[in-house]
Amino acid sequence: MTFSPPSGAPVDQDLGRAVRAAVVRLSAAGVPTPDVDAELLAAHVLGLSRGVLAAAMIRGDGMPEPAASAFESLIARRAAREPLQHLTGSAPFRHLELRVGPGVFVPRPETEMVAQLAIDALRAAAAPEPVAVDLGTGSGALALAMATEVPHARVHAAENSVDAFIWAKENFAAHAPHARLAFVDLADAFPELDGAVSVLVSNPPYVPDDAIPRDPEVRFWDPPAALYGGRDGLDVVRVLSHVAQRLLHPGGTLVIEHGEWQGAPIRDLLTADGWRGAATHRDLTLRDRATTAIRP
C-alpha cells in the first residue's frame, strides 16, 4: 500500500537529481569544477561530509526543505562566480580549515608549497625556539601553518587591512592563540625582532597594475590591495627585501610567493640588494611559485 503526503506538505527533492541539475547550471556558467562545487555546496547545506553525501545520492535520498532552498540560493550565487569559499565560509589550507569571506584573500592550494618552504627552513633553524614572521598574513594561512606544524617556534604575523585582520584574528584564536598577530604597516613591523628572525615568509600582492586576472572569482572578489603590486607587480617585494634584511639574522631565510613569470626579476632584485643564494622553486603544476634567499 502506498501513501500520499498530505495536501500542501513539502515533498523532498531527489538529492542526486538536484546535484546533477546544479552541475549543469554551474558548467554553463563557466565554473571550472562544477561537479566538485555542486557536491560541496550540497554537503554544506546538509551538514554532511562529501563522502557521506555521495552515499546518500547512491541510496536515492531526498533533500528536504529548507536545505533545498538554501542549496538553490548558493548555486545561483556560485553561478554568478561568487567564490565557493565565501559561500561555505571556509577554505582548506594544508591541515587547517580557515574562516574566509569578503575582504580577505582566499588561500590557494599552490600556496601550500610556499608554506612548506618556510616550515622546512624553520625546522632546520638551530635555535630552540626559532622566530618566524609572516608579513601580509591575510587569512593567516602561512603563519598558522608554521605555528601548528612547528610548535616550538615563535610565530608573528602582520596585516594592514582592517577587513583581512578581522578574519585573521578569528583564525588565530581558533588554531594558534599562542601566535602573535599585529595590525601594522609591513615596513614598520616588529622592530623589537630586528636581527632575531630565522624565517620571514610573505605572499604579497604581485599582479601588475595593468594586468586583469582571468578568473571572475579573483577579479571581482579578492581585495585589490591583496592582488596588485605596482607597474611591474614588485613594489611590495622591494619593501619586503629591505624589511627582511632588518628582521632576519645572518643565515636567516626569506620566502616570497610570486607569479610564474617573476622568478628571474625577483632573483635579480634580491641579489642586487645583497641577498645570497636566491633560488626559485616550482609548485606541483611545475610553475615558478616562490623564491627564497639567505640573509648574509
Digit-coded pLDDT (tens) for 249-277? 999 999 999 999 999 999 999 999 999 99
Cis amide bond preceding 130, omega within 30 = no
Digit-coded pLDDT (tens) for 208-232? 999 988 899 999 999 999 999 999 9
| Whole-number pLDDT of residue 13 | 83
| Contact predicate 22/40, CB 8 Å | no
Is the pLDDT at 239 greater than 80, yes or no? yes
Domain 13-80 has CATH 1.20.1300: no
In DSSP notation, 172-209 reads HHHH-TTSEEEE--GGGS-GGGTTTEEEEEE----B-T
Is the pLDDT at 8 greater than 50, yes or no? no
Average pLDDT over residues 233-240: 97
Phi, psi of 66 (to 5 degrees): -90, 5
Phi, psi of 136 (to 5 degrees): 75, 55
% of the chain beyond a pLDDT of 90: 93
In DSSP terms, which residues pair with 91 in a beta bridge?
A: 98
The confidence band for 165, taking pLDDT boundaries of 50, 70 and 90, is very high
All cell numbers assigned to 14:
531527489
| Whole-number pLDDT of residue 2 | 34
| Whole-number pLDDT of residue 7 | 41
| Whole-number pLDDT of residue 265 | 98
Is the pLDDT at 6 greater than 60, yes or no? no
Average pLDDT over residues 97-104: 96
Instruction: Give Cβ neighbours of residue 274 (< 8 Å, ≥ 6 apart).
Output: 245, 296
Give the up-direction half-sphere exposure of residue 111: CA atoms within 13 A in the CB hemisphere.
24
Domain 91-294 has CATH 3.40.50.360: no
Is the pLDDT at 282 greater than 90, yes or no? yes
Average pLDDT over residues 192-215: 95
Cβ density class 97-117: b for 16+ within 10 Å, e for less: ebbbbebbbbbbebbbbbbbb
Digit-coded pLDDT (tens) for 48-98? 999 999 999 999 999 998 899 999 999 999 999 999 999 999 999 999 999
| Contact predicate 290/258, CB 8 Å | yes
| Whole-number pLDDT of residue 231 | 95
CA distance 295 to 284: 27
- The residue ranking higher by pLDDT, 284 or 206, is 206
Q: Is 223 exposed, middle or buried (0-12, 13-18, 19+ CB in 10 A)?
A: middle
Of 251, 235, 255, 293, nearest to 112 (Cα)?
255
| Whole-number pLDDT of residue 3 | 32
Average pLDDT over residues 149-172: 97
Sequence spans of domains, the chain:
13-80, 91-294
**Three-state secondary structure string covering 15-55:** HHHHHHHHHHHHHHCCCCCHHHHHHHHHHHHHCCCHHHHHH
| Whole-number pLDDT of residue 4 | 36
What value does the mean pLDDT of the chain take? 94
| Whole-number pLDDT of residue 212 | 85
Residue with grid cell 502506498, as numbered in its chain: 2
Is the pLDDT at 25 greater than 70, yes or no? yes
| Whole-number pLDDT of residue 1 | 32
